[in-house]
Amino acid sequence: MAAKIPVTIITGFLGSGKTTLIRHLLQNNQGRRIAVLVNEFGELGIDGELLKSCQICPDTDVTTCVSTAPTPNIFELTNGCLCCTVQEEFLPTMQQLIKRRESLDCILIETSGLALPKPLIKAFRWQEIRNAATVDAVITVVDCAAVAAGTFASNPEAVEAQRQADDSLEHETPLQELFEDQLACADLVVLNKTDLVDKQSKANVEQLVKQELPREVKIVESNYGQLDPSVFMGFQAAVENDLDNRPSHHDIEEDHDHDDEITSTYLVLDRTFDPQTLLARLQTLAREQEIYRIKGFVAVPNKSMRLVMQGVGNRFDQFYDRPWKPEEIRQTSLVFIGRDLDSSEIESQLLTAIGDR
């Protein structure tokens, strides 16, 4: 019988840096054959597309990362919070991957910022999965700056917006308790964005994290998820068999109401933008409207590279991830998460920004 596929679950709040960490891991995968499941939020798969641009896809042209393989290695699960939809979407995807177990070295699962780890881990006890895959480790990514500020997430309103807009979500979980649940399941804690705090604040956050860990768990520091991949691999924790030692506030989940005014919307614009002008416009929009999260790709005048732009609250990051593919239309694609969003109004305001079409 073939060995079980090791699965690493990466959890943490929206904006903590999970996708950035996975992207770095994929770009430095040391020859490992890795499949990735992304629990995306919104209609445009920005996080999944960002991971696909890592230039490590199997059987690809490394310049453009265009996969020629009939079976993809990055899967986007978009039907809601993964811990609440394990049977509807996660199970069929895992069954597909199990059929390919001989061609995979490991699987990474990036959960949404609201996912409770334990319901997902329990799925690895199911007959359809347990003989073929095991949870090697749970990695919890902590936004050091947000915890130092006492908010746990860099933009609590964005997390709440994601919660209310997800009709599949079955648990009402205060941020602090969800933070504690994510830590309680961890085999490794990544203290991310440490460059945004001073030495004392970092020490305070580390002490707080240690207080919430129910057992001895290593804590590593990171900026932009730049850690050696070997740090994440080879725990052999078989987490699905160790849940009794990973206490949770929310082993019993409760229903809650949803706010239909909190939604995600997206724009696809056939035009280019000057990055700094667009950034200023997006920051203004985030202040003037209840926009909690912005992420997407930007076409820049006279640039052969695609620009990634993402913001949580007032904090924005941008970088060029890969060249535009020859067959691609150079569009600007942006996803917005917030309350009572009007995509027409957002588009109207963006188009007042100066940029070349």
Cβ–Cβ under 8 Å, residues 136 and 235 = yes
Average pLDDT value for residue range 38-53: 56
Return d(Cα 357, Cα 348) in angstroms, integer.
15
1-10, 48-57, 323-332: least confidently modelled range: 48-57
Residue 230 confidence (pLDDT): 86
pLDDT tens-digit map of 97-138: 898 888 889 999 988 777 788 888 988 998 889 999 999 999
Residue 152 confidence (pLDDT): 63
Average pLDDT value for residue range 80-108: 76
At 81, is the pLDDT very low, low, confident or very high (cuts 50, 70, 90)?
low
Question: SS3 of 183, please?
Answer: helix
Strands in the chain per DSSP E = 5-11, 34-39, 60-61, 66-67, 74-77, 106-110, 133-143, 188-192, 218-222, 262-269, 291-298, 305-312, 315-323, 332-339
Return d(Cα 117, Cα 183) in angstroms, integer.
9
Average pLDDT value for residue range 290-318: 85
Question: Which of 176 and 274 is assigned the larger pLDDT?
Answer: 274
- Within 10 Å of residue 326's Cβ, how many Cβ atoms? 8
Most trustworthy range by pLDDT among 67-76, 81-90, 256-265, 273-282: 273-282
36-40, 64-68, 80-84: least confidently modelled range: 64-68
pLDDT tens-digit map of 254-302: 433 334 455 677 888 889 999 999 998 888 888 888 787 788 899 999 9
Residue 191 confidence (pLDDT): 94
pLDDT at 89 over 70: no
At 169, is the pLDDT very low, low, confident or very high (cuts 50, 70, 90)?
very low
At 93, is the pLDDT very low, low, confident or very high (cuts 50, 70, 90)?
confident
Mean pLDDT of the chain: 77
Strands 34-39, 74-77: pairing is parallel
At 229, is the pLDDT very low, low, confident or very high (cuts 50, 70, 90)?
confident
At 351, is the pLDDT very low, low, confident or very high (cuts 50, 70, 90)?
confident
Residue 86 confidence (pLDDT): 59
Q: Mind listing the domains of the chain with CATH numbers? A: 5-54+71-251 (3.40.50.300), 262-353 (3.30.1220.10)
Residue 266 confidence (pLDDT): 81
Question: SS3 of 322, please?
Answer: strand
Residue 58 confidence (pLDDT): 45
Return d(Cα 154, Cα 142) in angstroms, integer.
10
Residue 244 confidence (pLDDT): 85
Question: Which of 200 and 95 is assigned the larger pLDDT?
Answer: 200
Between CA 222 and CA 32, with CA 215 as vertex, the angle to 5 degrees is: 45
Residue 171 confidence (pLDDT): 40
> Considering only CA atoms, which of 334, 337, 267 is closest in space to residue 297?
334
Return d(Cα 57, Cα 90) in angstroms, integer.
21
Residue 232 confidence (pLDDT): 85
Question: Which of 195 and 165 is assigned the larger pLDDT?
Answer: 195
Question: Nearest 5°: phi and psi at 51?
Answer: -70, -35
Secondary structure letter of residue 30 according to DSSP:
T
Counting residues of the chain whose pLDDT is more than 70, the rounded percentage is 74
Question: Which of 228 and 293 is assigned the larger pLDDT?
Answer: 228
Q: For CA atoms 146, 150, 155, 158, give the dihedral sign.
A: positive
Residue at token pair 């129910």: 214
Residue 153 confidence (pLDDT): 55
Question: Which of 92 and 83 is assigned the larger pLDDT?
Answer: 92
